[in-house]
Amino acid sequence: MYFFGQAFAPWNIVLAGLVGVVSFMPKRSLRNIVMILIGVGLIAFGHTFMPWNMIAGSLLIICALMPHRRLTHSVYAVVGWTALLYLATLDYGNTIWIAGVLSYLLNLLADTLTNRGIRPIPPLDWRLKINLMSTGTATGKIVESGFILLTFAIVFFVFFRHMPIM
């Protein structure tokens, strides 16, 4: 199997699957535990495969420990995530960091479509919300699943488009 034209370990596919499963877990507490475990694994072992795995693992742990839709759903987090991805992937061109930022923005857009919205500039109380759905409802699950599948499409395009046809 190839990643950007180079052979890579199949554990990356397993890791992507685990992160995907986390997205569909029904309980936030279980999701946070799994995110922390994946983060620890990335920090401990991931850097030997790809340099940004340590950053991704750290961010998974931070996101699992922080309250949802607070600092992680702000302009500050978007700027920080963009800078981290850009610096960690300089040797791989622009595709990875742009895809990472687009995926992050898709999460923020999905949360903006809920009745709670997001607070993009804390500590201001102003919320950005387009009340199209509620989290946990049938409509909400369909919209959330659509955004998750769109994120997987971005990941597939970025990481697997250079795979040779066998």
pLDDT in tens, 83-98: 988 887 787 778 878 8
Q: Are 55 and 128 within one domain?
A: no
pLDDT tens-place string over residues 125-140: 899 999 888 877 888 8
Given pLDDT bands bounded at 50, 70 and 90, which one contains residue 75?
very high
Q: pTM for this structure?
A: 0.71
Q: Are 74 and 50 within one domain?
A: no
Q: Are 23 and 3 within one domain?
A: yes
Residue 113 pLDDT > 70: yes
Residue 107: give the domain boundaries: 70-166
Q: What pLDDT does residue 128 have? A: 92
Give the residue with greater pLDDT, 10 vs 124. 124
Q: Are 49 and 126 within one domain?
A: no
Number of H helices, E strands in the chain: 6, 2
Contacts of 163 (CB under 8 A, 6+ apart): 1, 2
Could you tell me which of 73, 54, 66, 61 has the C-alpha nearest to residue 35? 61
SS3 content of the chain, % helix, strand, coil (to 5): 65, 5, 30
**From CA 6, how far away is CA 163, in angstroms rounded?**
9
Q: Are 78 and 119 within one domain?
A: yes
Q: Are 28 and 44 within one domain?
A: yes
DSSP run (H or E) holding 6:
strand 6-7
pLDDT tens-place string over residues 20-47: 777 777 777 888 888 898 889 888 877 6
